[in-house]
Amino acid sequence: MTNNEETITAMDLVWEVDEIAKLIGRNHRQTNHMLAKGQLPAKKVGGRWVAERSKLIAFFMDSAA
C-alpha cells in the first residue's frame, strides 16, 4: 500500500458515536444502540467506535434499495 492509499484510507475512517450519528442522520442514543446491537458495519477499537465512511454509506444505500 502506498502512502497516498494509506492517507485516503485513514481519512475514510469515522471515529466516535457522535460522528457516525451525524453521517447516518441519527442521534447519539439511536446510533449507540445500533452499534451495540451490531446493526452497523463498525468496530470498537480501544473503547472507541470506528467505521469506514464508504461502508456506512454503502450499507444504507443497500438497505434503501
Domain ranges across the chain: 3-64
Quick count: other Cβ atoms within 10 Å of Cβ 49?
Answer: 20
3-64 fold: Arc Repressor Mutant, subunit A (1.10.10)
- Phi then psi dihedrals of residue 45, to 5 deg: -125, 115
Task: Specify the pLDDT at position 41.
Answer: 95
- Choice between 63 and 60, residue whose per-residue pLDDT is larger: 60
pLDDT tens digit sequence for 13-60: 999 999 999 999 999 999 999 999 999 999 999 999 999 999 999 988
- For CA atoms 45, 52, 12, 3, the dihedral sign is positive
At residue 3 the predicted structure's pLDDT band, cuts being 50, 70 and 90, is low
Helix axes 17-24, 28-36, angle to 10 degrees: 100
- Whole-structure pTM value: 0.77
